[in-house]
A = this chain, B = another copy of it.
Amino acid sequence: MNHYPPSIRNAIQSLSRLPGVGAKTAERLAMHLLRAPATEVTELARNLMELKKKTRLCARCFTLSDTDTCAICSNPAREQDILCVVEGPAELMSIEKTGVFSGLYHVLHGVLSPMDGIGPDDIRIRELVARIKRGGIREVVIATGMQVEGESTAAYISEILQPYDIKITRLASGMPMGGDLKYVDPITLKHALEKRYAV
């Protein structure tokens, strides 16, 4: 890499900072972009800038959005009285792909993890309780992952929501144990959603 001109060296350096992209891959990507039409590269660069500039968190559910309220929260056709609690936006997307959930979401942005110093105040649990207090919610589906942290986050949330008169459910077993919601196939996840059980 030392002998590439600065224009190429800088691009390779920037690309190799991406996760899972090593020096060889970054070099291959840069060579591809050099051969690609200029419009494609311009579009990529512009889209990466826009990604960063326009994206914010939905003021209601805290998922990624480029409007103040996300498309799901502002869709009147969604069931307004059922909330699905997920770890992050990617997990929300996994559930949307199943097509069986038509309620609203609440994105925690993490799970409880005492080992990493992540407590209830570090994820959006307070905001979840506030939404429940405002009323109008009939059911909360806790769709955190099946790993230890996901399970204990689910347990914590179901306990903290006990005082309120709502049904609290958890995704059905059927999920592979230790499985990460982001990588599970839609069929399994769909089954798990349909068979969700009350805790």
Contact = CB atoms under 8 A, between A and B. Distances in A.
Contacts of A162: none
B64 A8 contact: yes
**Chain A interface, DSSP helix/strand/loop, else mixed:** helix
Given A18-B29, A64-B34, A7 B51 contact: yes
Nearest to A48: B45
Contacts of A7: 47, 50-51, 53-55, 66
Contact of A5 (B30, B31, B55): B55
Interface stretch (A88-96, A119-127, A140-148, A185-193): A88-96
A134 interface: no
A104 B38 CA distance: 30
A28 B34 contact: no
A88 to B, nearest CB: 8
Contacts of A53: 7
A131 B18 CA distance: 41
A49 interface: yes
A54 to B, nearest CB: 4
Given A14-B47, A20-B28, A50-B11, A6 B66 contact: yes
Given A11-B47, A34-B51, 7 more contacts: A5-B65, A10-B51, A13-B47, A18-B44, A27-B93, A42-B49, A44-B48
14 contacts: A3-B71, A5-B71, A7-B47, A7-B53, A8-B64, A8-B66, A10-B47, A10-B51, A14-B44, A15-B44, A18-B44, A34-B52, A42-B52, A44-B45
Interface of A: 1-8, 10-11, 13-15, 17-20, 25, 27-34, 38, 40-55, 64-67, 70-72, 89-90, 92-93, 96-97
